[in-house]
Amino acid sequence: MFVNKRPISLLLLGVSALSMTACAALPKDQTNAAVPQAVQIPSDMVHNRWWTQYNDPQLNALLDTAIKDAPNLSAAAARLLKARALEDSQRASLYPTATALGATLQMGGNNPAIDSITLGGINFGWELDFWGKNRAGVKAATSAADATRADAHQAVLVLTTATVNAYFELAHLYKDYDLAKRALVLRQDSESLVSQKATSGLTSKAELELARAAVSNARGELAAIEERILIQRHLIAALAGQAPAFGEQLERPNLPDARNFKAPERLDLELISRRPDVAAARLRVESASSSTQRAKASFYPNINLMAFAGKVFLNDLSGSGMDAINAGPVLSLPLFEGGKLKANLRGAEADQSVALASYNQTVVTAMQEVADTGASQRALSERLQHSNAALASSEEAYRLARLRYEGGLSDYATLVLAEQNLLTQRSTNNALQSRALTLEVAMVKALGGPY
């Protein structure tokens, strides 16, 4: 029986082109996948451990727990895995493909000898990326994945600086608690002094009641600070991804000595570019630029090399079939897309403009944060000097006011005023000393790490 093989060859090549949409088998370990668990944090997400400079074992252990268990970091790690998967998926477009193919085609026309054609074999395909469309797509996906990686570093930086700040705030609250206890002792001493004078008839009962009220207020302040300490412990536990009881078990932290970080005298792009958010914004500009190149390349023809190797059976499978090996190029050129390609290009160009504007804004914000933190550090040194002098004067003023009151040379109002000034100055001095550490951490965050 004579069969014209040329139409069959063309038919096989056409079927080969259509088979590019065939399904692939699932990986073996995914067919019965269990409920996914939280993604483990890869070690390279934490590229420096700047908090170890404080030599606090409890703080180091706390940050280790936070990095391992914080849900935000687990989500960042999962986004990084997804970005890398998208990059691998896009990179696959650069390589040839092979697909198992089986099909039965019903034939029509003027040849009654052939009712159907059944074929089976392996289909090969390879898109020749003459215009760089797929390569641009790979560049875009790679830059996007690198940007996601920088986002993960930023998430680590935000979490660690927030946790260290919360830890130092807990230590500051304990300092406030110590001051509140000293204030209670001071109020009690004043109450005792006024009580002695009232018993001797040297002062009124009203002054005694005022002194007693001051003692009660001091006890109330202690209770308020105890509440703030407990809430702060719960905040630390939440930052570490733990239950509140975790924070309640922490030992009382001590405020370390401030290391007197100073802002760099010169702020330039090279210094600011260390920040993960700046790096992420820059990489997104690169990704958007590559996406624009890909959109432009979509206007040009696609050339694919297609091949099929297998068996062809005519009418039924009872015979031995014919060996079939066919190969050839397939050219496709977009003729009418309803404006889709132009719209895609306009969208890609708009995304590039948005990415560039976002990058510029991120750089401006970064420079402002570094400059503001540096200004605060410079001002803090002078403020601490004046605060220390004011504290010494307040201590002396209270001592003199108490002596004068004991000697009957001044009234109780003068003693109360000196007492209140002393307590206020003690609190102010403690807050400024704690702020020095807060600004250290702020500078680490502003510069994207230690410097």
What's the confidence (pLDDT) of residue 4?
45
Give the three-state DSSP class for 48: coil
pTM above 0.85, yes or no: no
What's the confidence (pLDDT) of residue 428?
85
- Nearest CA-CA partner of 105 in 1, 2, 10: 10
Give the residue ranges of the chain where pLDDT is below 50: 1-6, 8, 10-13, 15, 17-23, 31, 33, 35
Backbone angles phi, psi at 324, to 5 degrees: -130, 120
CA 248 from centre of chain = 27
What's the confidence (pLDDT) of residue 260?
53
Determine which helix (DSSP H) or strand (DSSP E) holds 119, and give its type and residue range.
strand 116-128
What's the confidence (pLDDT) of residue 316?
67
SS (H, E, C) 178-206: HHHHHHHHHHHHHHHHHHHHHHCCCCCHH
What's the confidence (pLDDT) of residue 253?
92
What's the confidence (pLDDT) of residue 264?
60
Tokens of 70: 């914080």
Provide the CB-side half-sphere exposure for 83 (13 A, CA). Answer: 22
What's the confidence (pLDDT) of residue 130?
84
> Can you list the domains of the chain with their CATH numbers?
5-12+50-91+98-447 (1.20.1600.10)
Give 102's strand partners: 120
Say if residues 133 and 139 touch (Cβ distance below 8 Å): no
What's the confidence (pLDDT) of residue 411?
76
Q: How far apart are CA 100 and CA 94, in angstroms?
A: 20
Place of tokens 């230690």: 450
Q: Which residues contact 429 (CB under 8 A, 6 or more apart)?
A: 384, 387, 388, 390, 391
Backbone angles phi, psi at 95, to 5 degrees: -115, 160
CA distances from 232 to 170, 186, 349 (A): 6, 27, 47
Tokens of 292: 């624009």
User: How do residues 140-165 score in pLDDT, each as one tens digit?
Assistant: 999 999 999 999 999 999 999 999 99
Give the number of other CB atoms < 10 A from CB of residue 66: 24
CA distances from 204 to 196, 213, 365, 401 (A): 11, 15, 61, 18
Burial class (CB in 10 A: 0-12, 13-18, 19+), 292: buried
What's the confidence (pLDDT) of residue 109?
59
